[in-house]
Homo-oligomer: A and B are copies of this chain.
Amino acid sequence: MATEHVSRFGRFELQVDGPHSGNPFIDVEFAATISGPDGSVRVPGFYDGDGVYRLRWLAEVEGPFTFTTASNARSLDGITGGFTVGSAAERAHGPVRVANTFHFAHADGARYRPIGTTSYVWTHQGDELEEQTLRTLADSPFTKMRMCVFPKSYLFNENEPQLFPFEGDARAGFDVRRPNPEYWRHLEKRIDQLAELGIEADLILFHAYDRWGFSTMDPVADDRYVAYAVARLASFANIWWSLANEYDLLFEKTTEDWERFAAIVTANDPADHLLSIHNCRDFYDYSRPWITHASIQRQDIYKTSETTNEWREAWRKPVVIDECAYEGNIDQGWGNITGEEMTRRFWEGALRGGYVGHGETYVDANDILWWAKGGSLRGTSPDRIEFLDSILAEGPTEGLEPIPLDWDIPRAGVENEYYLYYFGFNRPTYRRFLLEPSRSYTVDVIDTWNMTITRLAGVYRGRFRIDLPGRPYMAVRLIAVDD
């Protein structure tokens, strides 16, 4: 049973019945070669339980395609067929990839701005809370969700999940040779629901906050798990792979392990989804060729997104600061910055051509903190983050590029066309500007906290002075106009 008509950026799926004796997850190899206008590609399939095998593929090119399966199980081998890929659905733009060195775009060229948030184990919370999380996301500015495959055991994360990625249970132990298809189907449903909301799933394959043993499986089990996840999920247009959250806290894993996982992902993902790895303290070597973008946790309590320029130059890749601390009021220093400070960090990063991520950790009577479990948002930064994104949406289509000044504040834009200045915690009552006198500019005084844009009367050129309100968190936008 195979999909006959796939829309571009949609999912082709082949379903075949096969052997269910022994352990098909391990015993049976199953893949296909899919051929179309641009050549052939090998696509791995996977066992979905109950004797059912599936093979999925993300269609990116319109036209006629054929497939031929290969398997060590006679009933799965040499199956052939054809399907057509038609035009994309209205809101389908395909997977996100790096564009203009430091930025992102969908496969169809549509610009993509990551406005990330984090809710590590939101898919482990049961339907009621998970559906609330989806409703919250629908009303939020976020376009990327950072989330884990494995459940989490940590402060504020004491509850036991209903489903696990492997067969077994916490009492009897888990059989890491047998994935639990029910778990994975649930995860897939949630990832598809994110896609409907236009949200990318930045999926974390490993993390250290574990009481079930998933962080300390042996290398054979690790490799099988990575390959299984990729076979199931690479056809989802909105997947990003994150090898680990805080890779350096997984003390039993070595660089060789991470490099091997990366090789498994890239060998088994025909769609070449974005791929990175996230630090606790030391950065992984982001210059490694398989890493598409930096996925940063701050290394300094005080200076976070202000370092974006240096990181861009170091690796010449997009800089995504997934953890710059969280808006909240818990005891931990990483989880109690104000909405003002979170918003400031977003702006400081954006003006330097990077992308900062959000998270929220407000004390809750039921320990439902957004950063871990989802639910509702109560902070003050999301509205301001949405306002920032509206400014970026009206800015250069190639993404905001820094145009450094000699000192004091960041500036970004396109020379002689568009300038954005951000004053952060400084609060001048005026500012002098000196631009090439060849062009005139409209001037917008932007209050990034109160979310107002005040267009000044007239146009300005050359050397001029703008009055400012003497409050923190102001920006100035200059847009060139033809006189």
Residues in A lying within 8 Å of B, measured CB to CB: 300-303, 306, 329-334, 336-338, 341, 363, 407-409, 425-432, 470, 472
Decide: A429 and B306 in contact? CB cutoff 8 A.
no
Decide: A430 and B302 in contact? CB cutoff 8 A.
no
Inside 8 A of A430's CB, which chain B residues have their CB? 331, 363
Q: Besides the contacts A331-B432, A363-B430, what 13 more A-B pairs have beta carbons closer than 8 Å?
A: A301-B408, A302-B302, A303-B303, A329-B427, A329-B429, A330-B429, A331-B430, A331-B431, A332-B408, A333-B408, A334-B408, A336-B426, A337-B425
Inside 8 A of A408's CB, which chain B residues have their CB? 301, 332-334
Which of B301, B303, B432 is the one whose CB lies under 8 Å from A407? B301
Chain B, residue nearest A425 (CB): B341
A332–B363 Cα distance when bound, in Å, is 39
Decide: A338 and B425 in contact? CB cutoff 8 A.
yes
Question: What are 25 sample pairs from A and B whose C-beta atoms fall under 8 A apart?
Answer: A301-B407, A301-B408, A301-B409, A302-B302, A302-B303, A329-B428, A330-B428, A331-B428, A331-B429, A331-B430, A331-B431, A332-B408, A332-B428, A333-B408, A334-B408, A336-B426, A336-B428, A336-B429, A337-B425, A338-B425, A338-B427, A338-B472, A341-B425, A363-B429, A363-B430
Inside 8 A of A470's CB, which chain B residues have their CB? 329
Interchain nearest-CB distance for A410 vs B (Å) = 9
A480–B332 Cα distance when bound, in Å, is 25
Inside 8 A of A426's CB, which chain B residues have their CB? 333, 336-337
A334–B427 Cα distance when bound, in Å, is 11
Inside 8 A of A409's CB, which chain B residues have their CB? 301, 333
Interchain nearest-CB distance for A421 vs B (Å) = 11
A331–B427 Cα distance when bound, in Å, is 8
Inside 8 A of A330's CB, which chain B residues have their CB? 428-429
Interchain nearest-CB distance for A309 vs B (Å) = 12
Chain B, residue nearest A332 (CB): B408
Inside 8 A of A300's CB, which chain B residues have their CB? 303
Q: Which 10 pairs of residues, A with B, have the shortest CB-CB distance? A: A333-B408, A329-B429, A329-B470, A303-B303, A336-B428, A336-B426, A331-B428, A302-B303, A302-B306, A331-B431
Inside 8 A of A329's CB, which chain B residues have their CB? 427-429, 470
Inside 8 A of A336's CB, which chain B residues have their CB? 426-429
Inside 8 A of A472's CB, which chain B residues have their CB? 338
Inside 8 A of A337's CB, which chain B residues have their CB? 425-427
A470–B337 Cα distance when bound, in Å, is 10
Chain B, residue nearest A363 (CB): B429
A332–B408 Cα distance when bound, in Å, is 7
A247–B131 Cα distance when bound, in Å, is 63
Inside 8 A of A432's CB, which chain B residues have their CB? 331
Inside 8 A of A429's CB, which chain B residues have their CB? 329-331, 336, 363
Inside 8 A of A334's CB, which chain B residues have their CB? 408
Most buried by B among A301, A329, A341, A426: A426
A332–B406 Cα distance when bound, in Å, is 12
A478–B88 Cα distance when bound, in Å, is 65
A427–B363 Cα distance when bound, in Å, is 12
A336–B428 Cα distance when bound, in Å, is 6
Interchain nearest-CB distance for A445 vs B (Å) = 14
Q: A425-B341, A472-B338 are in contact. Are A333 and B407 (CB under 8 A)?
A: yes
Interchain nearest-CB distance for A153 vs B (Å) = 19
A333–B426 Cα distance when bound, in Å, is 7
A425–B472 Cα distance when bound, in Å, is 15
